[in-house]
Chain A
Amino acid sequence: EDKVVQSPLSLVVHEGDTVTLNCSYEVTNFRSLLWYKQEKKAPTFLFMLTSSGIEKKSGRLSSILDKKELFSILNITATQTGDSAVYLCAVGNAGTSYGKLTFGQGTILTVHP
């Protein structure tokens, strides 16, 4: 059974801090790892990673994958109150006929002014 574990489960920081969110996984046939940001409503897509060691970057957010150690990190630098959200990690399984994703529990990030 595929499994995704995120840590920490929650995190409280002040504006300007840098945070690192962790995602470890077990999957029978790895295809991809995805990060989503969820505010009040729908999860919105941030990154998809398929190769080890290649950093994906978007503004203050960046992510990297380690397929040997089976984990990924999501970094957010110079945090802002608008970064407050639940961050979800999911892994895709290549051994299915559809886009199967297994999600972690999420990390709740709270950024105080």
Chain B
Amino acid sequence: NAGVTQTPKFQVLKTGQSMTLQCAQDMNHNSMYWYRQDPGMGLRLIYYSASEGTTDKGEVPNGYNVSRLNKREFSLRLESAAPSQTSVYFCASSEQLHTQYFGPGTRLTVL
């Protein structure tokens, strides 16, 4: 099993460009999450999907959109990237007992 996979691993964007971060899990989990991690800030929840067909905002949703494509896949889109979105992005998945399993992360730089 691959667990949680994310693409791309690294990305550099110019301000105003758009991109989509992809995430897939093969653990048959119902819930999926997108976090960003910045120095000294821990992991902050951007959006989550409690189950297939539902998505909701987390702590820091502004500037992002998500799509739960099916049970396996949950994508994060930046419509117009800003330097403040420079961060490391992690996708995670879980069943209902809160043990979340994380993907390897995407390091995004916005110039």
A-side interface mostly? strand
> In the complex, how many residue pairs between chain A and chain B have their CB atoms under 8 Å apart?
56
In chain A between 76 and 109, which residues have their CB closer than 8 angstroms to a CB of chain B? 88, 90, 92, 97-101, 103-106
B40 and A105 form a contact (CB under 8 A): yes
What is the CB-to-nearest-CB distance from B43 to chain A, in angstroms, rounded to a whole number?
Answer: 4
- The reply to whether B31 and A98 contact each other, CB–CB distance below 8 Å, is yes
What count of chain B residues pass the 8 Å CB interface test?
25
Q: Which residues of A contact B97 (CB under 8 A)?
A: 32, 48, 99
Cross-chain pairs A/B with CB under 8 angstroms, 24 sampled: A32-B98, A34-B99, A34-B100, A42-B4, A42-B90, A42-B103, A42-B105, A43-B43, A45-B101, A48-B98, A88-B42, A88-B43, A92-B98, A98-B31, A99-B31, A99-B94, A99-B95, A99-B97, A100-B45, A100-B48, A101-B45, A101-B98, A101-B100, A103-B42
